[in-house]
Amino acid sequence: MTQASAPLLAARASQFDDTEQQRGASALGMWVFIATEVLFFGVLFAGYTIGRLRFPEAFAAGGRRTDLLLGSIETGILLSSSCLAALAVRDVQLGGRRSSPWLLLGTAALGAAFLVMHGFEYHSEYEEALIPGLRYHPSGDPPHAMAIFFCLYYFITGFHSLHVAIGVALLSRLAVKAWQGAFSPDYIAPVEVTALYWHLVDIVWIFVYPAVYLVGRSS
Amino acid sequence: MSSTDPGIAAPSYLTAGEPGLAGWLLTHDHKRIGILYAVGITFFFLLGGIAAAMIRINLIEPQGALMSAETYNKAFTFHGVVMVWFFLIPSIPATLGNFLLPLMIGARDVAFPRLNLFSWYLYVGGGLFTIGALLLGGVDTGWTFYTPFSTLFSNSHVVLAVVGVFVVGFSSILTGLNFIVTVHTMRATGMHWFRLPLFVWAMYATSLVMVLATPVLAMTLSLIALERLLGVGIFDPALGGDPLLFQHFFWFYSHPAVYIMVLPAMGVVSELITCGVRRQIFGYRFMAWSMLAIAVIGFMVWGHHMFVAGQSMYAGIVFSILSFVVAVPSAIKVFNWVATLYKGTIDFHAPMLYALGFIGLFMLGGLTGLFLAATALDVNLTDTYFVVAHFHYIMVGGAVMAYLGGIHFWWPKITGRLYPEGPARFAAILMFFGFNLTFFPQYLLGYFGMPRRYHAYPEPFQWLNVLSSAGASILALAYVMPLCYLGWSLVRGRAAGPNPWRATGLEWTVPSPPPKENFALPPVVSEGPYRYRP
């Protein structure tokens, strides 16, 4: 709270000796959080791997029912958004004030676009009755095993989208604060750690994309 | 103000800051948050204790003296869920850890005070869900939530309980994150890693486990909730799922969780023993490294919970060997404590009695753990009372004894008052006897073949069960006693002064109770933590 009211002097919270210590703590905190996140997603990927080993056919068939075009565009969007986030950090590091709000806003906008496109994907899958527990009447393929694929698909992408949504909210708030001139090379931690978080979201997707959209189409 | 004139004492954390309830519920002070946790876990300990009492009363009669089979299932589930997640896991880290960690490393607070308070609210929120599940009729799956029973057959409030555990898991993750960052970045000038008190090392190792294991539990439990709500089958064999996968995920968290409970206890005991015998710890670096070794190897032994569940024989052999391996660093610690005591002049005050009790009970629990790690023997002993006795020796005999020992040791620091030594010693000794009378017969019951989780049993087991229940009533009395005399000392206890034990940690250099800012001037450290005779 103190950070918002008086940007430069009060940027240091009272438990820290100096801003350098605070910056180190923020960055390490985010890295530890990322380690936690890897384990969160790790369970889901482990479940996916086990399911795939047990039902290779059904998982491949399920993968072929996903929307490759949308998935690929989403991948492109997310990767470019991460680039914008990195540029925003660099801009603040170099003391720039003008472009960082726009770069942060751009990152958030691309994240939001990702969410919208994923919404379209979910909707068309609902139309095709591919959502286990809600509307599930797949034609042709072994239904039980493919349901496990779709269950994990929704859980993984849903959990990932939740992360994207949180990221969009954080980035939008940062964009506003950057516009107000809150950040400087001396006070960069919020931008840095949010960008780290955003890269994590991106990297998780780099694993989701081939596992869900590509592998089933390889043969 | 105080930093310019150390002669005038700053107001203590109990009186400084906002007055009234809001000053506590909105505090960012790690010491107040520690107290908030203490209140929370005491409440849950009482709830879990009531369930334990119901179980022991029921088992006095072979046919079950109190409850139907169904109610009995709900009672032991509630006991397990509450004691594991709402008492043992947060007990030492969230109370003593929160209070002491910044003091011991010479910091003003933890790295993220707001997050620290948020963790407490998550803890309370998770607790409300779990109590809600109880009030609506309870859960009957056991604390392990094994599938397919929890997903397919149980018609109790599994989802609600699972949500509670999920939420409290986040509290534990965030506390771990906070501690790791605090130890890395907030140490005072000159406080090198190998000048840290062993309690801090214990908190650090525990935090690593909290941060890396808890997410697995959280996701696994969400998958269970999903299965129940949507009828999909990731773990349900009828729908093509794999119930063993659940057990793997569950124990990937829940075995390391045992180390979340016992590593902090080891940290507390190291502080208590060095001060009680006034000697440096024997083999400081071995003690520090063995904590990390336990945390790391602890991640690789989960399969010993599944020897008879249907995992492959080779997996069983590997997990068995690794379970023997994890006993090595634990044994190093026991030997080093004993070596510290050797030829020392031991002051048998209450904290020391608890610490000595811990060593004895932890050894019995640990050695019987080796029995269970031996696959051939485990086939006979698994799912019997032998297992129940084994883990209660570690969790109750180990972790709870150390927690109470720590509470007594740092009570003067936390409250500024001395507790009455006589009743405290009596309670510690009573607890040791009550505990052994409760749980030693359970080793025998298990060895004779009494399975766990049944509300009734054959006649020949009765005398041992009666002994166990008699012990439980003594144990209950020993647990209520500290509540009474510690409560009394809050009002009537003599003022403690900064260092009643003449101990050497940084926390004893500040007034009791400590001022809000902990240190008037940032401390500079030039020596190790145990400045007693070698």
DSSP secondary structure letter of residue A218: -
Mutate to test the interface with B, among A14, A32, A44, A196 (most CBs of B within 10 A): A32
User: Are the CB atoms for B276 and B349 separated by under 8 Å?
Assistant: yes
Q: Do residues B317 and B301 make contact, with C-beta atoms less than 8 angstroms apart?
A: no
pLDDT tens digits, one per residue of B247-287: 999 999 999 999 999 999 999 999 999 999 999 999 999 99
What does the pLDDT average to over B286-302?
Answer: 96
**Residue in the structure block whose two tokens are 């399911």:** A51
Q: Is the peptide bond before B11 cis (omega within 30 degrees of 0)?
A: no
Contact between residue B131 and residue B208 where contact means Cβ atoms under 8 Å apart: no
The pLDDT tens digits of the residues spanning B391-429 come to 999 999 999 999 999 999 999 999 999 999 999 999 999
Has residue B1 got a pLDDT over 70? no
CB nearest B215 (choices: A40, A51, A144): A40
Q: Is there a contact between B185 and A39 if contact means CB atoms under 8 Å apart?
A: no
> pLDDT grade, residue B8 (50/70/90)?
low
The set of residues, in sequence order, having a beta carbon less than 8 Å from that of B133 and lying 6+ positions away, is B139, B156, B157, B160, B161, B164
* Cα(A113)–Cα(A118) distance, integer angstroms: 9
Write out residues 107-146 of A within 8 Å (CB-CB) of B.
Answer: 132-134, 144-145
Of B178, B215, B522, the CB nearest to A39: B215
- Give me the helices (H) in A1-97, please: 2-5, 19-54, 56-64, 68-93
Residue stretches of chain A with pLDDT short of 50: 1-10
Cβ atoms of A149 and A51 closer than 8 Å: yes
Q: A15 and B226: CB-CB below 8 Å?
A: no
pLDDT at B92 over 70: yes
- Are B223 and A155 a contacting pair at CB < 8 A? yes
Whether residue B301 is contained in a domain is answered as yes
pLDDT for position A11: 66
Determine the Cα–Cα distance for residues B384 and B446; give it in Å rounded to an integer: 5
Query: pLDDT tens digits for B114-144?
Result: 999 999 999 999 999 999 998 899 999 999 9
> 234-263 in B: which are within 8 Å (CB) of A?
234, 239-242, 245, 249
Q: Which of A50, A55, A151 sits opposite B232 (nearest CB)?
A: A151
Amino acid B6: pLDDT: 45
Q: What is the DSSP string of B120-170?
A: HHHHHHHHHHHHHHHHTT---STTTT-TTIIIII--S-HHHHHHHHHHHHH
- Pick from B186, B232, B249: CB nearest A133: B232
Residue-wise pLDDT tens digits, B173-218: 999 999 999 999 999 999 999 999 999 999 999 999 999 999 999 9
Question: Does residue B520 lie in a domain region?
Answer: no
Find the domain containing B76 and state its range: 23-509
Please check whether residue B447 is in contact with residue B382, taking contact to mean a CB–CB distance below 8 angstroms. no
CA distance B113 to chain A (A): 8
Using a 10 angstrom Cβ sphere, with 0-12 exposed, 13-18 middle and 19 or more buried, the burial of residue B527 is exposed
Q: B528 pLDDT exceeds 50?
A: yes
Is the predicted pLDDT of residue B452 greater than 60, yes or no?
A: yes
Does residue B3 sit within a domain?
no
Query: In degrees, to the nearest 5, what angle opens at C-alpha B27 toward C-alphas B520 and B499?
Result: 40
- Choosing among B182, B232, B524, which should be mutated to test the A contact, i.e. which has the most A CBs within 10 A? B232
Total domains present in chain B: 1
Separation between Cα atoms, residue B451 and residue A42, nearest integer Å: 35
Contact B318, B312 (CB under 8 A): no
Q: Give the dihedral sign, CA A199/A200/A205/A207.
A: positive
If you measure CA to CA, which chain B residue comes closest to A49? B245
Which of A14, A32, A47 is closest, CB to CB, to B177? Answer: A32
Q: Which CATH number fits domain A16-217: 1.20.120.80, 1.10.3210.10, 2.40.100.20, 2.115.10.20?
A: 1.20.120.80
Q: How many CA atoms, within 13 angstroms, populate the side-chain half-sphere of residue B128?
A: 5
Please answer yes or no on whether B111 and A25 come within 8 Å at the CB atom.
Answer: yes
pLDDT tens sequence across B155-171:
889 999 999 999 999 99
ipTM of the complex: 0.92
Phi, psi of A196, rounded to the nearest 5 degrees: -55, -45
- Return the residue of B nearest to A17 by Cα: B186
CA-CA distance, A168 to B55, in Å (whole number)?
Answer: 50
Within 8 A of B109 by CB-CB distance, chain A residues are 14-15
Q: What percent of chain B has pLDDT over 70?
A: 98
Q: Is the pLDDT of residue B80 over 80?
A: yes
Alpha helices in A133-188 (DSSP H): 143-179
Whether residue B242 and residue A144 make contact (CB cut-off 8 A), yes or no, is no
Q: Judge whether A47 is closer than 8 Å to chain B, CB to CB.
A: yes
Q: Mean pLDDT throughout B449-462?
A: 95
Note the pLDDT of residue A98: 83
Q: Distance between CA A157 and CA B285 in Å, rounded?
A: 45
CB atoms within 10 A of CB B60: 15
pTM above 0.80, yes or no: yes
Each domain of chain A, given as residue ranges in start order, spans 16-217
* Contact state of B239 with A24 under an 8 Å Cβ cutoff: no
Which residue in chain A is spatially nearest to B239 when comparing CA positions?
A144
pLDDT interval class at B20 (50, 70, 90): confident
B212: contact with A, CB 8 A cutoff: yes
Residue B464: name the closest of B453, B478, B476, B449 by CA: B449
- How far CA B114 is from CA of A1, B119, B417, in Å, comes to 10, 9, 29
What tokens were used for A198?
């955003």
No. of helices (H) and no. of strands (E), chain B: 17, 0
Task: State the CATH number of the domain containing residue B369.
Answer: 1.20.210.10
Q: Which of B431, B370, B445, B443 lies closest to B398 in space, CA to CA?
A: B431
In B, residues 88-107, which contact A (CB 8 Å cutoff)? 107
Q: What is the pLDDT of residue B241?
A: 86
Contact criterion met (CB < 8 Å) for B173 and A36: yes
User: What is the per-residue pLDDT for A141?
Assistant: 62
